[in-house]
Chain A
Amino acid sequence: MNKSSITEIVNKNLKTRYKKEARFQRYGQFSIFVAIIFLVIFFTSIISKGYTAFNQAEIRLNVNLDYEYIDPDRTGNIEEIRYGDFDGIVYEAFYKLFPKVKSRADKRELRELLSSGAGIKIQRLVIEDISLIGSQIDLWLPLDDEVDMLLKGNIDVDLPESSRRISDSQINFIKQLQEQKIIENKFNTTLFTSGDSRESEQAGILGALVGSALMLSITFMIAFPLGVAAAIYLEEFAPKNRFIDFIEVNINNLAAVPSIIYGLLGLAVFINYLGMPRSAPLVGGLVLALMTFPVVIIASRASLQSVPPSIRDAALGVGASKIQTIFDHILPLALPGILTGSIIGMARALGESAPLIMIGMVAFVVDIPSSPLDSSAALPVQVYLWADSPERGFVEKTSAAIMVLLTFLLLMNSLAIWLRNKYEIKW
């Protein structure tokens, strides 16, 4: 076999080899394309379902804040006023728009169009300013979620009446109101100012947001110092021996343990053994802290490793003790990297729900928690709860809650990236 024949052989095969090359490259491009398509479908699906939740159908009513309904004995006492018949006020104003409706059945159908939040809104207004009693004011009041869904086009009016939750006559009423131009889609402040509710038009994420914030602060206060301290020990002090190897194996494994196992730990130790309250942000924060702790260690070690040994030598060389070297020189240099990794770990903790379900955070909680010991929801768990609710109105609420959750995650990650870019030192 001489050289020129080899050239010929190679030449002969070249075409098929390049075809294979191109095919292989196309596989790679296809994979990236698939990943991008997934992301696009994902965001279109969530946003298209969720953006409507930021608006809510409201009606403009001229309500008469009559003493007879609110404070018949004219006590002027807030405690009395609190129990006034505010629904009655709303209904009276509403019936006035339909003078022809007389029968009890029709009136009931009318009442169903209004949200029970309407009366509560008036109650809050009145308690804030008692002098309003006796006056007549125009107010925007929320409509029922079924009406909201109808107006957003989520209910098929061509279906037979029995298979939808809104009747023909109710649809008719709404048409009349629309002609009077007193129904409008207003920005849904309730979503951001109230806790959970069984009625989707009154449900909000404030309780869940506060719960998540309380939990994350506890997580950060525990996991961050503990993780950084452990990382410093392992990087700067630890001798090379079997015991330290064992600790390292432990840390790496802990970072990969399924989150639900941490939930079981929390349930068995914090709730059953130590008797801490269920559904409390304190327990949630502790469980998430244990989960985030190895992540902080791993990030901190990487950051400490990137500080060159010459810095240590320089500090030790001028007579600083080891601890002084660490606190005065190494830690300040490694801190941006440590923070970046920790924030990313915290973002993961914010999105975590499985361990929280284990410690009972799936309870239905209306109130906004005011301390880490109160029962509370958390943002991702709220998503889970709403996703499980059968009412149509909750589908868009779920998507909206997801959008809020993703926004927070995005903010945290951007903060991490910003920190990294601003303070990163290339050695």
Chain B
Amino acid sequence: MKNIDQHNVNQKKEFETVGSISSSKDVVMSVKDCNVFYGENQALKNINLEVGKSEVIALIGPSGCGKSTFLRCLNRLNDTIDSCRVTGEFSLEGEDIYSGDMDVVLLRARVGMVFQKPNPFPKSIYENVAYGPKIHGITSSKRELDELVDLSLDRAGLLEEVKDRIHSPGTSLSGGQQQRLCIARAIAIKPDVILMDEPCSALDPIATEKIEGLINELKENYAIVMVTHSMSQAARVSQRAAYFHLGDLIEVGDTKKIFEDPEHELTKNYIHGRTG
């Protein structure tokens, strides 16, 4: 099995332009020759990918294939892991993400993130959303901050449900509400890109449906990079999809094409449930 995989991976080299997108779309973020090492182990090999404005791009692939690692490179969250080393060119609107000039605080303000498990701070709903604007000093008055919090909660589709208990703890919400709170928290600082790491994996189908609807609305204003385990979710919300396999980016393309007519054998096997 391993030999077959290796063979298939080699076959990939024919598509050198993998990951680029048509010039008609504006590129927000681009990654060239990304390699990631954990100590001695290489977790990602030569990844090339571009993210366009107002699109949802889904990263799919079997578990342990490096999707989440890749996602965490985009806002340099891997910096917090001592043994992790990242090489390659990453740019956000033309600026090098990993250069010395790029400030990691500013970067993370521009690249928001939503995590697999909802992780609201043990503070009130209001404080959770106000946290980002406060630390960055975005608003200048209490009234402005209140408006921003309301607006963000509204965009995240949560305002109606919580407006009369906005000062109760964020942890008192249901799982789906918590995840939407985390999305509200991320969009309160108006990022360019939102990274989502399996945002629905800990939620029930109804909450998932709500989040998916929200993602559909959000893509009007933000570029969204989303890791997902659910093939059907990728098909429902993403415009493009990228298939990762054992640290390699095998294939990128329009979601419809990936699902209906993948070019690569490995992708085909995964889509049809033969691996993963």
Residues on A facing B (Cβ under 8 Å): 1-3, 6-7, 9-14, 17
Contacts A6-B138, A9-B137, A9-B138: A14 and B192 contacting too (C-beta < 8 A)?
no
- How near does chain B come to A327, taking the closest CB pair, in angstroms? 42
Scan B85-107; emit 1 where CB is below 8 A from any A CB, else 0. 00000000000000000010110
List the B residue with the shortest CB-CB distance to A3: B190
Residues on B facing A (Cβ under 8 Å): 103, 105-106, 109-110, 135-138, 189-190, 192
Chain A residues near B138 (CB, 8 Å)?
1, 6, 9-10
Chain B residues near A10 (CB, 8 Å)?
105-106, 109, 136-138
Known: A3-B190, A10-B109, A13-B136. 11 other contacts (CB 8 A): A6-B138, A6-B189, A7-B109, A7-B110, A9-B137, A9-B138, A11-B106, A12-B137, A13-B137, A14-B105, A17-B105
Chain B residues near A14 (CB, 8 Å)?
103, 105-106
Chain B residues near A17 (CB, 8 Å)?
105, 135
- How near does chain B come to A293, taking the closest CB pair, in angstroms? 37
List the A residue with the shortest CB-CB distance to B110: A7
List the B residue with the shortest CB-CB distance to A13: B137
A119 to B106, CA, bound (A): 84
Chain A residues near B136 (CB, 8 Å)?
6, 9-10, 13
List the B residue with the shortest CB-CB distance to A17: B105
- How near does chain A come to B146, taking the closest CB pair, in angstroms? 14
A10 to B105, CA, bound (A): 9
Q: Do the beta carbons of A6 and B190 come within 8 Å of each other?
A: yes
List the B residue with the shortest CB-CB distance to A6: B190
Chain B residues near A2 (CB, 8 Å)?
190
> Looking at A2, A6, A12, A17, which has the most chain B CB atoms within 10 Å of its CB?
A6
Q: Do the beta carbons of A7 and B137 come within 8 Å of each other?
A: no
A70 to B110, CA, bound (A): 99
Interchain residue pairs with CB less than 8 A apart (11): A1-B138, A6-B138, A6-B189, A6-B190, A7-B110, A9-B138, A10-B105, A10-B106, A10-B137, A10-B138, A14-B105
Chain B residues near A3 (CB, 8 Å)?
190, 192
Chain B residues near A6 (CB, 8 Å)?
109, 136, 138, 189-190
Chain A residues near B106 (CB, 8 Å)?
7, 10-11, 14
Chain B residues near A13 (CB, 8 Å)?
136-137
- How near does chain A come to B188, taking the closest CB pair, in angstroms? 10
A1 to B140, CA, bound (A): 12
Chain A residues near B105 (CB, 8 Å)?
10, 14, 17
Chain A residues near B110 (CB, 8 Å)?
7
A10 to B110, CA, bound (A): 10
List the A residue with the shortest CB-CB distance to B144: A1
Chain A residues near B109 (CB, 8 Å)?
6-7, 10
In the A-B complex, list the 3 residue pairs whose CB atoms are closest, starting with the nearest.
A13-B137, A10-B136, A10-B109
Chain A residues near B103 (CB, 8 Å)?
11, 14
Chain B residues near A1 (CB, 8 Å)?
138, 190
- How near does chain B come to A15, taking the closest CB pair, in angstroms? 10
A11 to B106, CA, bound (A): 7
A244 to B109, CA, bound (A): 51
List the A residue with the shortest CB-CB distance to B222: A3
A17 to B135, CA, bound (A): 9
A3 to B188, CA, bound (A): 11
- How near does chain B come to A13, taking the closest CB pair, in angstroms? 5
A13 to B109, CA, bound (A): 13
- How near does chain A come to B234, taking the closest CB pair, in angstroms? 27
List the A residue with the shortest CB-CB distance to B191: A3
A14 to B110, CA, bound (A): 14
Chain B residues near A11 (CB, 8 Å)?
103, 106
- How near does chain A come to B12, taking the closest CB pair, in angstroms? 36
A2 to B192, CA, bound (A): 11
- How near does chain B come to A165, taking the closest CB pair, in angstroms? 62
A265 to B189, CA, bound (A): 63
Chain A residues near B189 (CB, 8 Å)?
6
- How near does chain B come to A12, taking the closest CB pair, in angstroms? 8
- How near does chain A come to B89, taking the closest CB pair, in angstroms? 21
A9 to B136, CA, bound (A): 8
- How near does chain B come to A2, taking the closest CB pair, in angstroms? 8
A394 to B158, CA, bound (A): 75
A11 to B138, CA, bound (A): 11
List the A residue with the shortest CB-CB distance to B103: A14
A122 to B136, CA, bound (A): 84
A14 to B105, CA, bound (A): 8
- How near does chain A come to B268, taking the closest CB pair, in angstroms? 40
A35 to B189, CA, bound (A): 41
Chain A residues near B137 (CB, 8 Å)?
9-10, 12-13
